[in-house]
Structure 1
Amino acid sequence: MGGAEQQVAALAREYLARGHQVALISLTPDCEVPLPDAVERLMLDLHKNPLSMAQALFAARRFARQWRPDIVNAHMFHANLFARILSRIAPLPPLVCAAHSFSEGGRHRMLLYRLTNRWCTLTTQVSEASRAEMIRAGAVTADRVRVMFNGIDTEKFRPDPALRARTRAQLGYGGETRLIVTIGRLAAEKAQTMLVDAFARMAGDAPAHLLIVGDGPERGALAARIAQRGLGHSATLLGMRHDIPALLNAADLFVLSSRVEGMPLVIGEAMACGRPIVATAAPGVAELMGDVDTIVPIGDTEALARAMSAALRQANEDGAADGTAEGNAEGNADRAAAVRRDRIVKQFGIAAAADRWLALFAQLSQSGGARTGPVRRCADA
């Protein structure tokens, strides 16, 4: 259910809608992200041992030989490395390896990227900061990596006053409670414990509730921190959810506290829903937000608390863009929501992202030794 997985599924839907054919090779047998039925798939069950790796590689080689793609586009570290190794035992068309994180897991992974750099046609990154970090770490040379921004499904993520009211009612929040939402894997790099600390510092402000959406290895630590701060009645670990557009619409404020990101899609999704945002200056955040809303330094709990309090005060003054505000307050909220959404639709919509990818595929297909003719088949690993 991560951002990269959601991106692969969204691009697959867009490619199919434009008349292309898509196959997916997954390194795991499960798939939590809905995929169109038209996507052909090979679901592997890869484990970290030589026998499992060999079996998976030969299964993928058989699939690639039968399917004969024009482009192979791998996403995230493990699939990128798998596809690069696959290229050593099977004739592949141009291979594009998409990285989705600033560090991609640390120096050992960067070393593996460096050693296999020439086994792919091109590496992509999701932000300028992430591209610069890969070059600095020696994982790739500057001429073999380019930025390809992720895309947001702006039809799925959009302001919906009726959905907002319905979701808040289902969650049990009245109009007087300001709802702060954060969404992401519960992991150290997301720094949700800092968010809990910041929320505790603003506990004396107007009634507010913090919803932490997602699951991961830090869940126990977060539960302990919430209890330690005495926030059991005002902060909730909501777990994994499949109604993210509804939760974003229900929010009065979306917060991202991350130390490390590639390009946080959830920021774009919140903006597409018109939500006010406070975020740390993690890689990719400024490129998404521009000068809209508030960015604070990474790791600064006090600055995060101040920005959250200020954002909620502004929301109270403007009124939520949900049809309940009056006069100028309603106009201010609606205009701010429209500015957020307009930026995402024009610069980061999924259609624009698909345009960029397909243009790149066509360029590589014409110059990289793949079969001639239009790009019709894209395989995602």
Structure 2
Amino acid sequence: MRILLVTTGLRMGGAEQQVAALAREFLARGHQVGLISLTPDCEVPMPDAVERLMLDLHKNPLSLIQALRAARRFAMHWRPDVVSAHMFHANLFARLLSRIARIPPLVCAAHSFSEGGRLRMRLYRLTSRWCTLTTQVSEASRAEMIRSGAVSADRVRVMYNGIDTDKFRPDPALRASTRAQLGLDAQTRLILTIGRLAAEKAQVMLIDAFARMDHTTPARLLIAGDGPQRPALAARIARHGLGDTATLLGTRRDIPALLNAADLFVLSSRVEGMPLVIGEAMACGRPVVATAAPGVAELMGDIDTIVPIDDTDALAAAMHAALDQDSTSDAAATRRERIVTHFGIGSATDRWLALFEQLCPQAGTRPGPVRPCADA
């Protein structure tokens, strides 16, 4: 099967990493993969076997026209069996592309609960019929898209993201070496959060909650990621006098190592689609405390602790309680088993390929160059 991925970009976000992970899995299953990125940045490693078109789309009509022409030439030359777009801007771009090019079934994957607000929901609604199907990453996010009128219930389905459970796994040796690099002794408890530093992630509340905790037992808070809220978070750390115990790490590429080093992973978000980083932490066997953002309960099940959104006291109490409990190997195994069974990247790839074959059943069955489906 020839699968053409369309993405807004390839920065170090969860959705972008999901696109790259799926590309690797599709290739490993013997499929051919092409990629159109609306932006030239490429922080997420993409396999060399992926033939790609890296655009430099700007927010003006001329740039859009030029990008659509280039994408049309690429798509008609590459001749995919199915087009799989990911994230809001790529979804709209791919829908516009479908108006000027004879492309096969188009699946548009949303990766966030609100996808940016009312205007974006309205644009989704106006262009909904320009794609074959829309997908969302959780039941809560699907319900919100339907409620907002962005798509009708019969044209959107849930496709859970997948987690690389070979990459994210318990590793005692990695834990020991990473803690040593971070200067942590055996008594210091490490609380970790990972994500874009943005208002919807509510890391300010996490810092406030950390400040309210009883620090009789030494504890450190590490915040990995970057974004527009970094200055505000630095100011909050200084305001609480936490300069020695709370650290902004910036963008990191050693996430499995950090997760293994942690004693507790915390998510403080107000809005999520499906927070992959929780699944990655659980795959590493780490205890999790998270707010009740969309997608969290579906991912965690009844394992570990979920607290109300924007409740600083509840978050502080849950963090303290989690650190006060000894994490057992059985609990770690339970966390990992849930992710491996329900949210592994292999299972996610199976679901995507089954969907593509359902939409274009003759894909990949013909010898020689593959042409678009007859119903395109």
TM-score by length of 2: 0.94
Take 2:348 and 2:308, find their aligned partners in 1: how far apart are those partners?
Answer: 29
1:295 to 303, 306, 317: 306
**1:206 Cα shift?**
1.1
RMSD over aligned CA atoms reads 1.6
Question: Conserved in 2, the CA contact under 8 Å of 1:179 and 1:209?
Answer: yes
The amino acid across from 2:353 in the alignment is L
Take 2:18 and 2:215, find their aligned partners in 1: how far apart are those partners?
Answer: 39
1:321 maps to which residue? none
Take 1:248 and 1:203, find their aligned partners in 2: how far apart are those partners?
Answer: 23
1:182 aligns with 2:213: no
The amino acid across from 2:63 in the alignment is S
Take 1:19 and 1:205, find their aligned partners in 2: how far apart are those partners?
Answer: 55
Unaligned runs of 5+ in 2: 1-11
2:103 maps to which residue? 92
How has the CA–CA distance of structure 1 residues 257 and 12 changed in structure 2, closer, same or farther, with 3 Å as cutoff?
A: same
1:37 aligns with 2:40: no
1:361 maps to which residue? 356
The amino acid across from 2:365 in the alignment is G
1:207 to 213, 218, 221: 218
1:351 to 346, 359, 362: 346
Question: Conserved in 1, the CA contact under 8 Å of 2:290 and 2:296?
Answer: yes
Question: Conserved in 1, the CA contact under 8 Å of 2:79 and 2:371?
Answer: no
1:233 maps to which residue? 244
1:309 aligns with 2:301: no
1:109 aligns with 2:101: no
2:365 maps to which residue? 373
Task: Tell me the SS of whatever aligns to 2:135.
Answer: strand
2:73 maps to which residue? 62
2:209 to 198, 205, 216: 198
The amino acid across from 1:348 in the alignment is F
Task: Tell me the SS of whatever aligns to 1:29.
Answer: coil
2:5 maps to which residue? none
2:329 to 334, 343, 356: 334
The amino acid across from 1:188 in the alignment is A
Take 1:150 and 1:116, find their aligned partners in 2: how far apart are those partners?
Answer: 24
Unaligned runs of 5+ in 1: 319-332
Take 1:85 and 1:109, find their aligned partners in 2: how far apart are those partners?
Answer: 15
2:228 to 191, 208, 217: 217
Take 1:23 and 1:170, find their aligned partners in 2: how far apart are those partners?
Answer: 39
Aligned residues between the structures: 360
Task: Tell me the SS of whatever aligns to 2:52.
Answer: strand
1:172 aligns with 2:183: yes
Take 2:121 and 2:186, find their aligned partners in 1: how far apart are those partners?
Answer: 48
Take 2:197 and 2:364, find their aligned partners in 1: how far apart are those partners?
Answer: 45
**1:49 Cα shift?**
0.4
The amino acid across from 2:112 in the alignment is S
The amino acid across from 2:116 in the alignment is G
Take 1:137 and 1:185, find their aligned partners in 2: how far apart are those partners?
Answer: 25
How has the CA–CA distance of structure 1 residues 244 and 264 changed in structure 2, closer, same or farther, with 3 Å as cutoff?
A: same
The amino acid across from 1:360 in the alignment is L
1:269 maps to which residue? 280
Question: Conserved in 2, the CA contact under 8 Å of 1:271 and 1:337?
Answer: yes
Question: Conserved in 2, the CA contact under 8 Å of 1:4 and 1:100?
Answer: yes
| Higher RCO (Cα < 8 Å, 6 or more apart) | 1
1:135 aligns with 2:146: yes
Q: CA-to-partner distance for each residue in 1:172-223, whole Å, 9 max, x for gaps? A: 1111100000000000000000000000000434110000000000000000
The amino acid across from 1:361 in the alignment is F
Task: Tell me the SS of whatever aligns to 1:236.
Answer: strand
2:26 maps to which residue? 15
Take 2:129 and 2:366, find their aligned partners in 1: how far apart are those partners?
Answer: 26
What is the identity percentage for the equivalent residue pairs of Structure 1 and Structure 2?
Answer: 79
Question: Conserved in 1, the CA contact under 8 Å of 2:226 and 2:251?
Answer: yes
1:119 to 130, 142, 161: 130
Task: Tell me the SS of whatever aligns to 1:254.
Answer: strand
1:323 maps to which residue? none
